Amino acid sequence: MNAEILENLASCLLRGDQASAAETTRNALEIGIPATEILDKGLIAGMAVVGEKFKNNEIYLPEVIMAARAMHAAMDILRPLLAISNTRPLGKVVLGTVRGDVHDIGKKLVGMMLEGGGFQVIDLGTNISPQQFVKAVEEFNPTHIGMSALLTTTMPAMKDTINALIAAGLRHRVKVMIGGAPVTQAYCDKIGADGYAPDAASAVELARRLLV
């Protein structure tokens, strides 16, 4: 019975059905399924399938956004219960599009997928300077930083941010992930970032690998 309800919840995400996701979450709680189990075996499991399908070009950006909205509808119900039970996220990720760049669709998608994967996400927005990333590390103590750039002309700000973290004595505290259309693994290696993700689903996998 529990497994069937949780599979149904995962299906709600795949369909992008916000109302059904919320209703199924309430039903699961009413029959005594713990909030942590609903999160792990319903929402995270469902978003993992969404991520895999997106990665394989079986679904596209609009479907992923709808799935993420359905996930948020369920999370709005679960979040107070998870707080009471002291459920900790896998990690905390500070995201930002780098200085000089105001593109954020890809970054927002990465944030949605990370949340669906069990991470806490703090989205700083766009045009984020190295100093702002440093301040965010000091303030939020994240496990990861995720930097995005869509323009080749703004990519050097990624290296500038890593240098700023080193200068502030904070580089060892965070794993640095980078991505965006012009970004490559070779550039990641060149600037000393910890990992590169070509798409949102891969960003979740990378964030998990970097926790080890």
Asked if 191 and 158 count as a contact pair (C-beta separation under 8 A), the reply is yes
- pLDDT of 4: 94
**Residue 3 to residues 8, 32, 33, 70, 194: CA-CA distances in angstroms?**
8, 13, 10, 19, 37
66: left (phi over 0), alpha (psi -120 to 50) or beta: alpha
Which distant-in-sequence residues (6+ apart) come within 8 Å of 67 by Cβ? 13, 14, 16, 46, 47, 50, 116
Other Cβ atoms less than 10 A from the Cβ of 212: the count is 4
Ranges of H-type helices in 31-104 = 35-38, 45-55, 61-84
For the record, the structure tokens of 190 come out as 């060149």
- pLDDT of 61: 84
Instruction: Tell me if residue 120 falls in helix, strand or coil.
Output: strand
Ranges of the chain with pLDDT below 70? none
For the record, the structure tokens of 135 come out as 């301040």
Q: How far from chain centre, in Å, is Cα 205?
A: 10
Domains of the chain with bracketed CATH: 2-84 (1.10.1240.10), 92-211 (3.40.50.280)
- pLDDT of 152: 95
| pLDDT single digits (tens) 92-134 | 999 999 999 999 888 988 998 898 889 999 999 999 999 999 9
